[in-house]
């Protein structure tokens, strides 16, 4: 549904987006990760046709955004950064306005508004003007606007920013549910969201893609992945170091595999060693790897890396 | 056409959901009343016409129209809704025209509400209502020209005050270029051809005909081309922002 080829955007001498290419198909939820200022919002603005790219191509459902913007925009629902909406309008007025701009009239419009109001839990605030709403409701109102025409493509710029944990949970569930038959791209810098909602994630840094894969694949890039953490009475680092590099964690030991591809054997080896030595095990975990460690490692400048 | 109507309707309604529109209407009517009947010596003139009424419009609009036009794009950029609007299936020119039309209709409403002036001259005397009608057409076009300029300056900044001041400065030029004291001053050192050329850019020169009851095609073309040019420039400015 979404095809992006060698997208470049320069602001003066700065290359905000520097040759990004990826594609998103129906049924995929792509998490767009990166530190602040990495080029996430700029990329999304080019995908939605708000900004023309300096170079490269974006096609939505076969329509080139630069050449046939109206056809491409019809397929997209967009939740901009900070969920901008007209503060002087009522929720109903705003949603009807969005529906009309999307070409919905009469009973179709009424149906569409009713559907998104239910979906985004806005029943209680329909008559309220948007500037009197709490941040969570404002956000959901803008999200409702993006869903009003049941778009095939949904682009969301930090959809959970500023929401409380319950609301975050709701929005993530909504994204996952919508992702079954839409192509979704959403940006975030909250890593747990990748696990909660994405089928695939892209990490960008300084305008370039630095990692692209399923949450599992990204996690496997972590140093920690495959390591075994053991807390056992009588255990000592000397014996354990025969199995791999050992880190002392104040009462527990973490053993890193020498060879990542044989990580599965490590746990087995540790179990055998423990039973041979007769140590009393209090706890033992096989680490999956942590996304934020991967994120930090690939997005921090070399000088800051430990 | 549909998107233009939808956006224009939203803009018009938005005007009236805040008290600003009502405050504007009251101030506009108070000022037109004051300038016509007190400062314009309406009663002492002893003639059944609205010359005292229309004569002030280029000056009155100088402050009031930018006050209407300043928020049109500046507000949209400040609150981030510009991104929302321009990612809808709407061509930028449609949004520009729609927003201009909505504010122009609002100014038309303000102008319509000055009808007591027409009633007054008709009760007191026997004026030529054709001249009055031409005056209203001219005044409406004049407001449109100022408004288009205000839309343009509004697109330049996200600060409404800056947009207001820029607009007043540009409109002031459009007035002064044809204002008699200024043209008199210019004739001392400039050739008559140059003075005429500069004056031809002025709204005052082209508004004169309407006040005398003449609707000249050249004046119509002037006002419509000022509007067209300013709206085109608005489009260029907005495209410039998006290109970064």
Same domain membership, residue A277 and residue A176: no
Confidence of residue A301 (pLDDT cuts 50, 70, 90): low
Place of tokens 């609002």: B106
Q: Are B84 and A97 an interchain contact pair (Cβ–Cβ within 8 Å)?
A: no
Q: What is the rounded CA–CA span in Å between residue B22 and residue B28?
A: 10
Is A14 among the domain residues? yes
Which of A145-154, A162-171, A240-249, B26-35 shows the lowest per-residue confidence on average (mean pLDDT)? Answer: A240-249
Q: What is the rounded CA–CA span in Å between residue B138 and residue B96?
A: 23
Instruction: Spell out a b/e string for B88-115, using b for 16 or more CB atoms within 10 Å of the CB, else e.
Output: bbbeeebbbbbbbbbbbebbeebbeebe
Q: What is the rounded CA–CA span in Å between residue A237 and residue A253?
A: 7
Closest CA to B141 of B74, B32, B61: B61
Same domain membership, residue A42 and residue A14: yes
Q: Pull the structure tokens for residue A204.
A: 């960008």
Which of A143-157, A216-230, B173-187 shows the lowest per-residue confidence on average (mean pLDDT)? Answer: A216-230
Is A37 among the domain residues? yes
Q: Looking at the predicted structure, is the pLDDT value of residue B171 above 80? A: yes
Interval A141-155 mean pLDDT = 93
Which carries the bigger pLDDT value, residue A262 or residue A141?
A: A141
| Residues 89 through 148 of chain B touching chain A, CB cutoff 8 Å | 89-91
Helix B57-69 crosses helix B71-79 at what angle (to 10 degrees)? Answer: 10
Q: Are A89 and B10 an interchain contact pair (Cβ–Cβ within 8 Å)?
A: yes
Structural domain boundaries, residue A153: 2-220
Q: Are A52 and B87 an interchain contact pair (Cβ–Cβ within 8 Å)?
A: no
Query: Rounded to 10 degrees, what is the CA torsion of B139, B140, B142, B146?
Result: 140
Same domain membership, residue A104 and residue A206: yes
Same domain membership, residue A168 and residue A82: yes
Is A292 among the domain residues? no
Q: What is the CATH number of the domain that holds A104?
A: 3.40.50.300
- Boundary residue ending a domain (A220, A238, A259): A220
Among the partner residues B81, B84, B87, nearest to A49 by beta-carbon distance: B87
Cα dist from B125 to A8, B43, B119, B122, B214, whole Å: 71, 11, 10, 5, 21
Most confident of A112-121, A268-277, B40-49: A112-121
- Boundary residue ending a domain (A188, A220, A252): A220
Instruction: Please tell me the distance in Å from B241's CA to the nearest CA on chain A.
Output: 9
Is A17 among the domain residues? yes
Is A306 among the domain residues? no
Q: Are B83 and A76 an interchain contact pair (Cβ–Cβ within 8 Å)?
A: no
Q: What is the rounded CA–CA span in Å between residue A179 and residue A25?
A: 10
Cα dist from B81 to A30, A100, A236, whole Å: 25, 16, 62
Find chain A residues with C-beta within 8 A of B86's C-beta: 49-50
Same domain membership, residue A88 and residue A41: yes
Q: Establish if A55 touches chain B: CB-CB under 8 angstroms.
A: no
Q: Are A74 and B91 an interchain contact pair (Cβ–Cβ within 8 Å)?
A: no
Is A240 among the domain residues? yes
pLDDT of residue A263: 67
Q: What is the rounded CA–CA span in Å between residue B33 and residue B27?
A: 10
Confidence of residue A306 (pLDDT cuts 50, 70, 90): very low
Closest CA to A47 of A75, A27, A84: A75
Same domain membership, residue A241 and residue A208: no
| Residues 23 through 52 of chain B touching chain A, CB cutoff 8 Å | none
- Boundary residue ending a domain (A196, A220, A244): A220
Same domain membership, residue A235 and residue A103: no
pLDDT of residue B24: 92
Q: Are B242 and A87 an interchain contact pair (Cβ–Cβ within 8 Å)?
A: no
Q: Are A70 and B91 an interchain contact pair (Cβ–Cβ within 8 Å)?
A: yes
Same domain membership, residue A171 and residue A267: no
Closest CA to A179 of A147, A202, A148: A147
Q: Establish if A149 touches chain B: CB-CB under 8 angstroms.
A: no
pLDDT of residue A287: 79
Among the partner residues B6, B87, B91, nearest to A48 by beta-carbon distance: B87
Secondary structure in 3-state letters for B136-158:
HHHHHHHHHHHHHHHHHHHHHCC
Q: Are the CB atoms for B211 and B51 separated by under 8 Å?
A: yes
Which of A60-74, A231-245, B47-61, B162-176 shows the lowest per-residue confidence on average (mean pLDDT)? Answer: A231-245
Q: Are A86 and B14 an interchain contact pair (Cβ–Cβ within 8 Å)?
A: yes
Q: What tens digit of pLDDT does each residue of B89-100 get?
A: 999 999 999 999
Same domain membership, residue A232 and residue A215: no
Instruction: Please tell me the distance in Å from B71's CA to the nearest CA on chain A.
Output: 13
Same domain membership, residue A252 and residue A132: no
Q: Please count the structural domains in chain A.
A: 2
Same domain membership, residue A186 and residue A121: yes
Q: Are B87 and A76 an interchain contact pair (Cβ–Cβ within 8 Å)?
A: yes
Among the partner residues A11, A73, A81, nearest to B89 by beta-carbon distance: A73
Q: Establish if B17 touches chain A: CB-CB under 8 angstroms.
A: yes
Q: What tens digit of pLDDT does each residue of A159-214 get?
A: 888 788 888 888 888 898 899 999 999 998 788 888 888 899 999 988 899 888 88
Confidence of residue B244 (pLDDT cuts 50, 70, 90): low
Instruction: Please tell me the distance in Å from A29's CA to the nearest CA on chain B.
Output: 21
Query: Any bridge partners for residue A135, and if so which?
Result: none
Q: Are B81 and A85 an interchain contact pair (Cβ–Cβ within 8 Å)?
A: yes
Which carries the bigger pLDDT value, residue B34 or residue A240?
A: B34
Q: What is the rounded CA–CA span in Å between residue A272 and residue A269?
A: 5
Q: Pull the structure tokens for residue A138.
A: 């404002």
Same domain membership, residue A145 and residue A249: no
Q: Looking at the predicted structure, is the pLDDT value of residue A304 above 60? A: no
pLDDT of residue A64: 93
Instruction: Please tell me the distance in Å from B156's CA to the nearest CA on chain A.
Output: 17
Q: What is the rounded CA–CA span in Å between residue B73 and residue B150?
A: 10
Cite the DSSP H helix spans in chain B. Answer: 2-17, 20-34, 42-45, 51-54, 57-69, 71-79, 81-86, 92-112, 115-124, 129-156, 160-176, 180-187, 192-200, 203-211, 217-243
Q: Are B89 and A85 an interchain contact pair (Cβ–Cβ within 8 Å)?
A: no
Is A182 among the domain residues? yes
Is A232 among the domain residues? yes
Looking at chain A, which residue has its C-alpha nearest residue B16?
A88
Average pLDDT, chain B: 90
* ipTM here: 0.87
Determine phi and psi for A259, rounding to 5 degrees: -130, 115
Q: Are B80 and A51 an interchain contact pair (Cβ–Cβ within 8 Å)?
A: no
Q: What is the rounded CA–CA span in Å between residue B45 and residue B12?
A: 38
């Amino acid at each position: 549904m979404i095809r992006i080829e060698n997208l470049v955007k320069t602001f003066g001498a700065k290359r905000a987006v520097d040759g990004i290419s990826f594609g998103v198909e129906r049924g995929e939820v792509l998490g767009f990760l990166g530190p602040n200022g990495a080029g996430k919002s700029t990329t999304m603005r080019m995908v939605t046709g708000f900004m023309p790219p300096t170079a490269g191509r974006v096609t939505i459902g076969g329509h080139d955004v630069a050449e046939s913007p109206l056809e491409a925009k019809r397929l997209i629902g967009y939740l901009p950064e900070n969920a901008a909406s007209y503060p002087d309008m009522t929720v109903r007025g705003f949603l009807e306005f969005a529906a009309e701009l999307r070409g919905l009239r009469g009973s179709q419009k009424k149906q569409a508004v009713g559907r998104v109001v239910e979906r985004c839990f806005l029943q209680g605030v329909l008559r309220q003007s948007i500037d009197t709403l709490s941040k969570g409701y404002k956000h959901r109102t803008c999200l409702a606007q993006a869903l009003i025409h049941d778009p095939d493509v949904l682009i969301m710029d930090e959809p959970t920013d500023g929401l409380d944990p319950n609301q975050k949970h709701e929005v993530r569930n909504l994204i996952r549910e919508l992702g079954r038959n839409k192509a979704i791209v959403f940006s975030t810098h909250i890593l747990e969201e990748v696990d909660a909602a994405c089928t695939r994630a892209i990490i960008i840094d300084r305008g370039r893609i630095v990692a692209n894969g399923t949450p599992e694949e990204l996690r496997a890039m972590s140093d920690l992945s495959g390591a075994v953490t053991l807390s056992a009475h009588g255990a000592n680092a000397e014996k354990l170091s025969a199995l791999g590099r050992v880190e002392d964690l104040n009462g527990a030991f973490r053993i890193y595999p020498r060879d990542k591809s044989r990580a599965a054997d490590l746990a087995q080896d540790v179990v055998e060693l423990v039973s041979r030595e007769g140590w009393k095990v209090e706890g033992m975990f096989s680490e999956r790897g942590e996304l934020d460690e991967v994120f930090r490692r690939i997005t921090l400048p070399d000088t800051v890396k430990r | 056409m549909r998107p233009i109507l939808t956006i224009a309707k939203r803009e018009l309604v938005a005007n009236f959901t805040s008290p600003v529109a009502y405050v504007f209407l009251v101030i506009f009517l108070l000022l037109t009343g004051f300038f016509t009947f007190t400062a314009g010596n309406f009663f002492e003139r002893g003639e059944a016409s609205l010359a005292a009424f229309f004569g002030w419009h280029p000056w009155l609009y100088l402050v009031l129209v930018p006050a209407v036009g300043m928020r049109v794009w500046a507000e949209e950029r400040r609150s981030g809704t510009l991104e929302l609007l321009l990612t809808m299936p709407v061509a930028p020119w449609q949004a520009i025209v729609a927003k201009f039309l909505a504010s122009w209709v609002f100014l038309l409403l303000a102008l319509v509400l000055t009808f007591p002036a027409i009633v007054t001259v008709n009760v007191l005397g026997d004026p030529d209502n054709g001249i009055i009608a031409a005056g209203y057409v001219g005044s409406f076009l004049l407001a449109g020209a100022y408004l288009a300029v205000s839309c343009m300056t509004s697109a330049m900044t996200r600060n409404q005050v800056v947009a207001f001041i820029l607009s007043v400065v540009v409109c002031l030029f459009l007035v002064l270029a044809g204002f008699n004291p200024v043209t008199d001053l210019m004739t001392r050192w400039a050739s008559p051809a140059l003075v005429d050329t500069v004056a031809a850019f002025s709204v005052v020169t082209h508004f004169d005909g309407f006040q005398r009851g003449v609707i000249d095609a050249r004046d119509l073309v002037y006002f419509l081309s000022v509007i067209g040019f300013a709206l085109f420039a608005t489009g260029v400015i907005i495209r410039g922002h998006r290109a970064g």
